[in-house]
Structure 1
Amino acid sequence: MKTLLSISICILFFSGFSQDLKPQELLEKAISYHDPNGNWLQFKDTFTVEMTMPNAPKRTSVITINLPAEYFSVTATKDTVTTTYTLEKGKCQMQYNGVVLDSLKAADKDMTCDRATLYKNYYSYLYGLPMKLRDPGTNLSDNVEKKRFKGKDYLVLKVTYDDAVGNDVWYFYFNPKAYAMEIYQFFKTDDQGKVKPESGEYILLTGETLLNGIKIPKVRAWYYNKEGKYLGTDTLIED
């Protein structure tokens, strides 16, 4: 009886807490946890990410993001091939095994400036979360949801984007005590904007690394939403 009462009190507390907390309040608490000194907008650092996938060679990427200088670079090595994409104030440069390529030679290697921009947006978004949820065109849901995922309880923000930004629907899972971001998940939508329930992926975040005073998840393990099939893992390699 005592155990049952304790569980009931815990459930009531959690339920009431999640209902009282507004989406913007949850986001600000999460940002305060990950970026307590507001360093993201001045982010300037270089870090290494190792990607492993089943039945595929390891890929090591050295990434530089310098937001004040509008500079981004990623150098990725896989097997014997190294590619570099650099964007500086919108100017694009591409290298293949250390040799600078013009647009025609780059196209022969399946390298484009559009891909450079894609990488810039990808790494800036994922490694800038949850701070990037303040960006224009980002729409928080009206309520904070309570969800249980893989045996743990979370406070969850549902996020959609203006059409000019993207059409995917994202869910961000935060620890209800510390407000650390521990999972994110996205789904594709159809032409009517409805979620395709078997589309998309979820990403489990474990460990933390400090970059520019920001607590950034160290390990990201990717899975398909459909059947939970494992895709691969990105790991921040500390010096």
Structure 2
Amino acid sequence: MKNLILLCLLFVSTIGLSQDITGAELLEKSIQFHDPDNNWKNFEGAFSVTMNMPNKPERISNISISLPKEYFALQTQKDTILAESVVNKSDCTLSINGNTNLTDALKKEHNLSCKRAKLFKNYYTYLYGLPMKLNDEGTIIDQKVTQKTFKGKEYLVLKATYQKEVGKDTWYFYFNPETYAMEVYQFFKDESKNDGEYILLTGLETINGIKMPKNRAWYFNKNDGYLATDILSKSVQN
């Protein structure tokens, strides 16, 4: 009976918090958890991401980011092939095993292009810069915070949409109501169709003072179909 009362009190207090806190306040509390020293704006660091996918070989990506220098590098190893894409401000360099003199056929064979390099830059900077990236220009934060039970856990949920020149997807970010850690996020291209994906975040890896989710497990919204898991680790360069 005592445990039931405590659970009820916790539920009621969480409901009250979701009604009292605004979207901006929730975002700020989460940023304080993940980036307590405000390091993201000057982030310079390197890390590795190991991707595990069903029925496919493990893929390791080594990533270097310098926000002040507008620099991004991605290295991927497959068998004896080391492919690298570098975006340095407006310049782009592609290489295979250190060779930058690549034919169009070779770039196509290894799926290398400057357009793809810039997409990866935006992808990795966005995902590993969350929740701080939600303060970027063009992001529209819904000031109404909701409470939701997802996969058996209670969360405070923040909705984010984007100005049309930035993006079209609708995102939901799920925060631990006690620590404000980001533990789930979810996106839809058309919410009425329940398309898109959700991502479960477990564990933490601290990279240059920023608490980043260590494991990201990706699933389809529609059928809970499993896609892949990304595992973050500190680069040997750090």
TM-score by length of 2: 0.93
Partner of 1:235: 231
Gaps of 5+ in 2: none
> CA separation in 2, counterparts of 1:92 and 1:115?
11
Partner of 1:147: 148
Partner of 1:192: none
> CA separation in 1, counterparts of 2:113 and 2:103?
7
Partner of 1:112: 113
Aligned residues: 234
Partner of 1:222: 218
Give the Å deviation of 1:162: 0.6
* 1:188 maps to amino acid: K
CA root-mean-square deviation: 1.6
Give the Å deviation of 1:50: 0.6
Q: 1:196 to 1:117 in 2, by over 3 A?
A: farther
SS of 2:178's equivalent in the other structure is: coil
Matched ranges for 1:106-185 at <5 A: 107-109=107-109, 110-185=111-186
Partner of 1:64: 64
Partner of 2:8: 8
Superposed CA offset, 1:153-208 (max 9, x none): 0001010001111111000000000000001110113xxxxx24331111111111
> CA separation in 1, counterparts of 2:22 and 2:62?
38
Do 1:57 and 1:79's aligned partners in 2 also have CA atoms closer than 8 Å? no
Give the Å deviation of 1:4: 4.5
* 1:111 maps to amino acid: L
Q: 2:201 aligns with which of 183, 201, 205?
A: 205
> CA separation in 1, counterparts of 2:156 and 2:91?
41
Give the Å deviation of 1:103: 7.0
Give the Å deviation of 1:111: 1.8
SS of 2:117's equivalent in the other structure is: helix
> CA separation in 2, counterparts of 1:107 and 1:100?
10
> CA separation in 2, counterparts of 1:155 and 1:132?
18
Gaps of 5+ in 1: 190-194
Q: Which has the higher contact order (CA 8 A, sep 6+)?
A: 2
TM-score by length of 1: 0.93
> CA separation in 2, counterparts of 1:37 and 1:13?
29
- Does 206-215 or 72-81 show the bigger shift? 72-81
